[in-house]
């Protein structure tokens, strides 16, 4: 079985490609090395993959690559590529989100529509499509109301996936990820910032009071959800993928203190525009259709994340 993973040098994409190879897939990976964080970090994510004969890497973006040629022998697409980040999606930067997250998705869907060899197209969406909602947990039928341009771009691409299923029969499945963490997490994300700060005896910076809650999901569970979506996902459907751990951000810091044996020094910053106050996933639909159930507890996941970053902190400090 041949798979395409877009955004393969990223946090989730690299883990997913490694798992696919272990499952017997041959993987084509595409990445453009966008400058949202240093290239050397993404190249390190690819280190083991590029040495594997079952992996082929193509550097380039979805706008300029010959996607039809790439897809000739591909049977499943895992579309992970996107410009991430809620806080950076405002103002002039939104043009990059439109180009990469919306247009890039439309182009790869367009390339898939006339290819009968595509058995499944898995799109990586985001809990950001929900925005702020007073009714928790969030189900797939909850009104989508993004509070950031990033969320708007992910929701637009999600709608495109449904349209290409209805219009052309592209077998799309969208997965709404809820705050993913673990080894290789992007350096701008909270767990990475918190753990690296405590490892280097710096202040942990928290936006707002720390009372905001998130449903944190370990990267291995996200990868498993992608595999199950390929095997069992219903075409044209959307699924929440959460970790089952609704917790305050300030309590995450307490767990990191326990895991590290160090006392955190906190500095509170102003709340950021576009950050949802609370998220929590209803995963009953994914549980029923995909047989998805998060396996990694928050404590165990933070411990794994901490131990990995402790060994690899130098990658991020050059």
- Give the CATH number for residue 173: 3.40.50.720
- Region 137-158 average pLDDT: 97
* 150 is an active site residue: yes
Taking residues 11-37, report their average pLDDT: 97
In a domain, 10, yes or no: yes
15-38 average pLDDT score? 97
Residue 265 counted as domain residue: no
pTM, whole model, 2 decimals? 0.97
Please report the pLDDT score of residue 125 as a whole number. 98
CA distance 49 to 127: 29
Domain that holds residue 20: 2-181+218-244+280-296
Residue 255 lies in a domain: no
| Cβ atoms 241, 179 nearer than 8 A | no
Tokens of 109: 């869907």
What are 220-251's pLDDT values in tens digits? 999 999 999 999 999 999 999 999 988 999 99
pLDDT reported for residue 80: 98
Asked whether residue 288 is assigned to any structural domain, the reply reads yes
**Does some domain include residue 36?**
yes
Place of tokens 């964080």: 37
Structural domain includes residue 253: no
pLDDT at position 274 is 82
Supply the pLDDT for residue 273.
84
In a domain, 195, yes or no: no
What is the overall mean pLDDT for the chain? 96
CB 145 within 8 A of CB 243: no
Q: Is the pLDDT of residue 120 over 80?
A: yes
Total structural domains within the chain: 1
**pLDDT (mean) for 36-59:** 97
Q: How confident is the model at residue 113 (pLDDT cuts 50, 70, 90)?
A: very high
**Catalytic-role residue among 123, 130, 150, 292:** 150
141 or 135, greater pLDDT: 141
As a residue count, the chain comes to 318
For residue 318, what pLDDT is reported? 67
Residue 314 falls inside a structural domain: no
């Amino acid at each position: 079985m041949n798979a395409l993973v877009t955004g393969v040098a990223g946090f989730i994409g690299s883990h997913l490609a490694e798992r696919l190879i272990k499952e017997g897939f041959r993987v084509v990976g595409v990445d453009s090395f966008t400058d949202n964080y240093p290239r050397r970090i993404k190249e390190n994510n690819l280190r083991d993959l590029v040495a594997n004969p079952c992996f082929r890497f193509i550097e380039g973006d979805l706008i300029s690559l010959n996607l039809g040629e790439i897809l000739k022998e591909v049977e499943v697409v895992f579309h992970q590529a996107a410009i991430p980040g809620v806080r950076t999606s405002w103002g002039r930067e939104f043009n990059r989100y439109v180009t990469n997250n919306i247009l890039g998705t439309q182009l790869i869907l367009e390339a898939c529509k006339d290819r009968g060899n595509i058995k499944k197209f898995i799109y990586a969406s985001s809990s950001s499509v929900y925005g702020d909602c007073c009714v928790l947990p969030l189900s797939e039928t909850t009104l989508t109301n993004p509070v950031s341009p990033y969320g708007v771009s992910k929701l637009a691409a999600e709608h495109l996936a449904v349209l290409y299923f209805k219009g052309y029969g592209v077998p799309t499945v969208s997965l709404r990820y809820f705050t993913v963490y673990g080894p290789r997490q992007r350096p701008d994300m909270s767990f990475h910032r918190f753990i690296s700060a405590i490892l280097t005896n710096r202040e942990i910076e928290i936006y707002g009071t720390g009372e905001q809650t998130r449903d944190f999901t370990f990267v291995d569970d996200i990868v498993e959800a992608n595999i199950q979506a390929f095997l069992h996902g219903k075409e044209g459907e959307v699924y929440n993928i959460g970790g089952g751990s609704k917790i305050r951000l300030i309590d995450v810091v307490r767990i990191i203190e326990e895991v590290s044996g160090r006392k955190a020094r906190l500095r509170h910053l102003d709340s950021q525009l576009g950050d949802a106050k609370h998220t929590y996933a209803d995963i009953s639909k994914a549980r029923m259709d995909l047989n998805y159930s998060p396996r990694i507890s928050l404590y165990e996941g933070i411990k794994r994340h901490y131990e990995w970053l402790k060994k690899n902190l130098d990658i991020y400090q050059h």
